[in-house]
Structure 1
């Protein structure tokens, strides 16, 4: 049975992945866990890697790369990469985070990326990430509902519905208890959840996530709402598709899933798409196949990278913000993202290839292009194309409420993206 044959079950499985992935670190760990249950062997970067064909994965903090080397692979075998990212806009915990006043305990947080700040108000929120101990051990930790950003009542701000303005420092520090900062310890709370002595904690990377589970709803169950759809929807599509082709895979290319951290803040980190992680893994795959530098370069010329990230569905309340002709609609198929200034890496060859994979999967294609008066965002696609010279096409699913604490996707699009990803991997 092909991946995502049941769109509702597929969306519920995405809800499971999101719930298990409140931070980028958790997302990489969850992808590794899922693939290991399907026979992938996890490798350590500091170890010698096997040269035999097989299914492998490696995790670097909040990034992970998984691939399948078929028995027929040679030094010039090309790679088919599906790339996505594990981070989402929101908040991260600052140093000395236990704050508060007037009898309230608050968490000191810093804005991460470009979230819709108002969407984080009046929601139950989680803390998640890792604690680094005195011996260098790293412990993943995630709370249940723990924090909240309470909005000021309308009675105290009669103009709130005319234009809400949030100060990124003063108005974004969530409450998490009652008392004085001297009598509480936020990191101690997280250490208790993790089951470790807070005295051993020497460092941490913690972020805030919506605590509500993803849900299918609407007429004919058309909608799926969840936190972190940007870009866990693509991460989920990639891991399901790669797992679907793993059993007995033998084709003339190497299917590879690359999920990166820090896309929302520019990707220029050791675990971001602009960093060395993917290039290093590709080089080590080539070494295992006995490839010379020339042979590796030959392999790259016939390789493909599908950069998968969310894009904008036409919004019924703001149609003027979209192109007047090209108007992708949530629920009508994955999108092919095009930009003349190469904010997306799609060209004519990429468009043709994506349509071919979509036709093979029986999935409709929509195009996306920005209104000329609205600046266009970007993705990991141009970064990877620039770093590695691999032909790249930018795609994704259309959503509403992008960068909200809870975004809106189409159930059919989630399943469709996964089916096209599987067709791409199968070739």
Structure 2
């Protein structure tokens, strides 16, 4: 029997607010934590001793958050149901010595993060966000959400062949944003950002800063059936997973322990202490077992019965490039979540995983689609295979079909975010 739908278009409205308020992974996890706190979750420190009491808890580290709900009566060997996602998106990130310039222009030195579509950052009003590290190790989030920077494209009059031969961008020479006129002033950017954050620049000893488009997310189309916005890959899944976990928390009859695992650094390989290839998830799950009085045998039993849905965006069929897609698999916006399959394990889905996903969609009364790459095109990957291999956990790759993946501004169906959230909630309920 189908579960009643929990989420509707109001969920998409909230996603718009989430995207606008999460210009960096650090803001994304802070916003997710705030939503979980309202649902009764509490933060636990990794350096503190953990207890085995029931209820919702979460660990926050950098741009990653792991949250879980222990229902009353859960055994040490109770398996987990995990929604996996990632908080980072391809963008431009500030270099250690940021102040630079040329020909009387003041500029900011940036490094390319992930596989971004470079041209989508041109001639776009950009803000600045991230975190500052202060003396003593404290962090301060900062977001300058107004037009501050711009990467100007060369005028067509000075590049007459651009429309015939295509735009060619050098990552080092052509992607440096401008933010004013005058001589280079070393230390100016950090003084400016410190002032925006309300701290003394002399107290800033480190920073993790990046640019973001200041254009707000918005419904699009004649009937507003589409949603355009930044960082959907993959904050759309982080938001849906957070909402789903908050919705099932409080159900003391859950047969599993529901978990949200939102990692950083997926876009550059997941190899960090906050990435999916790091030990964070395994440590949290193991400590949860031990805090409830379990040992190695209980952990092994719990992991053996655990399933993870790795939720990340996938490719909707592109109307102008349909030949790039697999002919028999054309996912459409508002067609429901997609099941992502690749037999070479770029995605972790197998037949058993398909059955788990199909069951969750059926109970949520949500349609779903399949995605597989064209054999002539290389296939991307996700945290799914990493999670499966590192922890020995059955993993299924799913997501929402979008256009313009890795652009500064992406496009999805306006119904798909809440359809995904309903499926994730049904999955976490088991």
Q: What is the TM-score with the length of structure 2 in the denominator?
A: 0.97
Say if 2:315 is the partner of 1:312: yes
Provide the residue aligned with 2:424 in structure 1: 421
Provide the residue aligned with 1:148 in structure 2: 150
Over 3 Å counting, the alpha-carbon distance change for 1:297 and 1:147 in structure 2 is same
The 5 Å alignment of 1:170-249 reads 170-182=173-185, 185-249=188-252
Range that drifts further, 35-44 or 380-389:
35-44
Counterparts of 1:28 and 1:124, CA distance in 2: 25
Counterparts of 2:327 and 2:262, CA distance in 1: 33
Query: In the TM superposition, what is the alpha-carbon distance from 1:3 to its structure 2 partner?
Result: 6.5
Query: In the TM superposition, what is the alpha-carbon distance from 1:183 to its structure 2 partner?
Result: 7.3
Counterparts of 1:249 and 1:186, CA distance in 2: 51
Counterparts of 1:231 and 1:182, CA distance in 2: 36
Contact in 1 for aligned 2:248/2:429 (Cα 8 Å): yes
Pick from 404, 407, 423: which aligns with 1:404? Answer: 407
Where does the alignment leave 5 or more consecutive residues of structure 2 unmatched?
none
Where does the alignment leave 5 or more consecutive residues of structure 1 unmatched?
none
Query: In the TM superposition, what is the alpha-carbon distance from 1:184 to its structure 2 partner?
Result: 6.7
Provide the residue aligned with 2:115 in structure 1: 114
Partner secondary structure for residue 93 of structure 2: strand
Partner secondary structure for residue 316 of structure 1: coil
Query: In the TM superposition, what is the alpha-carbon distance from 1:2 to its structure 2 partner?
Result: 6.0
Query: In the TM superposition, what is the alpha-carbon distance from 1:138 to its structure 2 partner?
Result: 1.1
Query: In the TM superposition, what is the alpha-carbon distance from 1:209 to its structure 2 partner?
Result: 1.3
Counterparts of 1:247 and 1:389, CA distance in 2: 28
Q: Deviations over 1:343-378 (max 9, x none)?
A: 000000000110110011111110000000100000
Provide the residue aligned with 1:358 in structure 2: 361
The 5 Å alignment of 1:19-418 reads 19-145=20-146, 146-162=148-164, 163-182=166-185, 185-418=188-421
Query: In the TM superposition, what is the alpha-carbon distance from 1:135 to its structure 2 partner?
Result: 2.1
Counterparts of 1:211 and 1:274, CA distance in 2: 32
Aligned pair count reads 426
Following superposition, which runs of at least 4 residues in structure 1 exceed 6 angstroms of deviation?
A: none
Q: Deviations over 1:10-52 (max 9, x none)?
A: 2221111111211111111111111112210111111112221
Partner secondary structure for residue 221 of structure 1: coil
Counterparts of 2:145 and 2:306, CA distance in 1: 42
Q: What is the TM-score with the length of structure 1 in the denominator?
A: 0.98
Range that drifts further, 168-177 or 255-264:
168-177
Contact in 2 for aligned 1:82/1:257 (Cα 8 Å): yes
Contact in 2 for aligned 1:227/1:407 (Cα 8 Å): yes
Partner secondary structure for residue 68 of structure 2: strand
Counterparts of 1:109 and 1:178, CA distance in 2: 18
CA-based RMSD of the aligned residues comes to 1.3
Pick from 5, 8, 21: which aligns with 1:6? Answer: 8
Counterparts of 1:291 and 1:164, CA distance in 2: 59
